Amino acid sequence: MQASFTEENYLKAIYHLSEEGRQQVNTNRIAMVLNTKPASVTDMLKKLSEKNLLNYTRYQGVSLTDPGRNIALKVIRKHRLWEFFLVEKLNFGWDEVHDLAEQLEHIQSVELINRLDSFLGFPEYDPHGDPIPKDNGTIKCYDLKPISALHVGETGTIAGVREHSPLFLQYLEKMNLVIGKKISMEEVIAYDETVVITTENNQKINISKAAAKNILITI
Amino acid sequence: MQASFTEENYLKAIYHLSEEGRQQVNTNRIAMVLNTKPASVTDMLKKLSEKNLLNYTRYQGVSLTDPGRNIALKVIRKHRLWEFFLVEKLNFGWDEVHDLAEQLEHIQSVELINRLDSFLGFPEYDPHGDPIPKDNGTIKCYDLKPISALHVGETGTIAGVREHSPLFLQYLEKMNLVIGKKISMEEVIAYDETVVITTENNQKINISKAAAKNILITI
DNA sequence: TTGTTGTTTTAGATGTGTCTAAATTTTTAA
DNA sequence: TTAAAAATTTAGACACATCTAAAACAACAA
Ligand SMILES: [Mn+2]
Ligand SMILES: [Mn+2]
Ligand SMILES: [Mn+2]
Ligand SMILES: [Mn+2]
């Protein structure tokens, strides 16, 4: 039961969408993230439903079946392992690897990806802090909070991001707000909800409300 | 001027075919190596000719243009660098890597392949002894001879193979006839042209006529 | 030179994934 | 409850790469 390049992308997108909001995933949203048109999505949903990779009833949205979810997780595993490889071995920046991984994630070979995993030392997280699914289909469900959820005086460690655009990642890099950094909440400016945080070396940094929502921490 | 997955495969196949026989490359031969039908080949030749990637006149066969040859060399560069990676870093056998490289060679990114090249230490040859084209499009034209061209008593070093099937490569591996081995020609059995060679540690090995033609050496 | 053979090309069709425009269904708001 | 708005699906078309069957052409031998 091999899924095509395009089918894999649909399954992955639907998986990601059902992670964020827990309701049914709707057609327009899928079209948006896949950069395509709703009519095309409907066609594909019918096909994937036919193949039993998702549950689909007209006008009702979709959810993945177990086989569908499994394929999605395999693709995500490949995506994140390749991203790790690109950053750790080829010295790419964390803002440069996503598009490349979008291509590499479709290379078909279980043996290859398991050897890559081993070569990389079985990493648990990708360069953006996202957990890497295991070969058996398990994935750590991590619950991180955005910085904006911290109360004044509380402390946390940066562990992930909610947005993966190069612009955002470059900005974080420049501010040295990278995975593993300890920060604490200083105050929230009443005027525009700008967040002020302090780093380990007592540096104060101002972060916009939008940015603070997209930086994830553990406590 | 981006070539599609399929177009790249055609250009690569035509490049390889024009390397062996130096005449024009003909339709049926292309269909054979690409595992497709002559009618399909004609369609594609018209398209590639339209794009100025090859010279095509009906019934006359084809030859690559400079842009076409260039794309072919880029694909071959990627193929051979990935093969090197798979063998040297992920410990695949030289008989296991070709099909994987057939997929990886289509990943689009100049930056990726140049970083991979650097990561691997700028290798000159792939695991089968084939020269790896440089980023600037140059490729070592090597002239190796088959073992069968040695005269009795002459010595050579194994430097390549003319056939890449897993079965053949596994056979060579088992016989320890790998790249770099020094061998000398002992005799040719008159009856069926079986070739007898001796290795450095004075071991005698019998090789069929067919195999002797497909093992390449430098003198 | 002419007929035969093998190669190559055309004609017409298929499968996949996509699109626009129009029709249908659901949701929302009056 | 009903009308308008938004979401979704159908209808019909297209691009790409492929196929089979039939026609056109080239090479060769009689
Ligand atoms: Mn990514
Ligand atoms: Mn990532
Ligand atoms: Mn190969
Ligand atoms: Mn090779």
Question: Which nt is closest to the CA of A6, judged by C1'?
Answer: C17
Residues with Cβ within 8 Å of B50's Cβ and at least 6 positions away in sequence, in order, are: none
- List, as ranges, residues with CB under 5 A of the ion ligand 4: B 83, 126, 128, 130
pLDDT tens, per residue, chain B with 219 residues: 789 999 999 999 999 999 887 678 999 999 999 999 999 999 999 999 999 999 999 999 999 999 999 999 999 999 999 999 999 999 999 999 999 999 999 999 999 999 999 999 999 999 999 999 999 999 998 789 999 999 999 999 999 999 999 999 999 999 999 999 999 999 999 999 999 999 998 999 999 999 999 999 998
Domain B5-64: give its CATH code.
1.10.10.10
Residues with Cβ within 8 Å of B193's Cβ and at least 6 positions away in sequence, in order, are: B148, B209
> How far is residue B202 from each of residues A81, A209, B197, measured CA to CA in Å?
47, 76, 9
Which residue is it, tokens 């569908």? A68
Task: Select from B96, B78, B79 the least CA-distant residue to B87.
Answer: B96
B/e letters for B52-69, b = 16+ CB within 10 Å, e = fewer, are ebbbbeeeebbebbeebb
Query: pLDDT by residue (tens digit) across B16-34?
Result: 999 887 678 999 999 999 9
Question: Which nt is closest to the CA of A62, judged by C1'?
Answer: D8
Closest-lying ligand to the alpha carbon of A132?
2
In angstroms and rounded to an integer, the radius of gyration of the C-alpha atoms of chain A is 19
Q: Which two tokens stand for residue B213?
A: 């033609």
- Report the distance separating Cα B16 and Cα B23, nearest Å: 12
Using the structure, give the distance in angstroms from the CA atom of A61 to the C1' atom of D11, rounded to a whole number: 22
Per the CB < 8 Å rule, is B92 touching A108?
no
Closest-lying ligand to the alpha carbon of A161?
2
pLDDT score of A66 more than 80: yes
The reply to whether A5-64 and A74-141 are identical in fold is no
Question: CA-based angle A6:A9:A12, to the nearest 5?
Answer: 150
Neighbours of A72 (CB within 10 A): 26
Residue B116 is nearest to which of A90, A115, A119, comparing CB atoms? A90
Domain B145-218 CATH superfamily: Ferrous iron transport protein A (FeoA) (2.30.30.90)
Q: Which two tokens stand for residue A95?
A: 């803002």
Q: Is the dihedral of CA A20, A25, A28, A31 positive or negative?
A: positive
Nearest CA in chain B to A118: B90
The secondary structure of chain B as a DSSP string is: -PPPHHHHHHHHHHHHHHHHS-S-B-HHHHHHHTTS-HHHHHHHHHHHHHTTSEEE-TTS-EEE-HHHHHHHHHHHHHHHHHHHHHHHTT---TTTSHHHHHHHTT---HHHHHHHHHHTT--SB-TTSPBPPPTTS-------EEGGGPPTT-EEEEEEES---HHHHHHHHHHT--TT-EEEEEEE-TTT--EEEEETT--EEEE-HHHHHHEEEE-
Confidence of residue A23 (pLDDT cuts 50, 70, 90): confident
The secondary structure of chain A as a DSSP string is: -PPPHHHHHHHHHHHHHHHHS-S-B-HHHHHHHTTS-HHHHHHHHHHHHHTTSEEE-TTS-EEE-HHHHHHHHHHHHHHHHHHHHHHHTT---TTTSHHHHHHHTT---HHHHHHHHHHTT--SB-TTSPBPPPTTS-------EEGGGPPTT-EEEEEEES---HHHHHHHHHHT--TT-EEEEEEE-TTT--EEEEETT--EEEE-HHHHHHEEEE-
The ranges assigned to domains in chain B are 5-64, 74-141, 145-218
Residue A115 is nearest to which of B91, B112, B115, comparing CB atoms? B91
Nearest CA in chain B to A121: B90
Q: How far is CA B76 from the centre of its chain?
A: 9
What global pTM score does this model have? 0.94
> How far is residue B143 from each of residues A138, A152, B151, B159, B216, measured CA to CA in Å?
52, 73, 17, 10, 9
Query: pLDDT by residue (tens digit) across B121-163?
Result: 999 999 999 999 999 999 998 789 999 999 999 999 999 999 9
Do the Cβ atoms of A60 and A103 come closer than 8 Å? no
- The dihedrals phi and psi of B22, each to the nearest 5 degrees, come to -90, 0
Domain B74-141: give its CATH code.
1.10.60.10
Do the Cβ atoms of B180 and B161 come closer than 8 Å? no
Query: pLDDT by residue (tens digit) across A130-185?
Result: 999 999 999 998 789 999 999 999 999 999 999 999 999 999 999 999 999 999 99
- Report the distance separating Cα A56 and Cα A14, nearest Å: 12
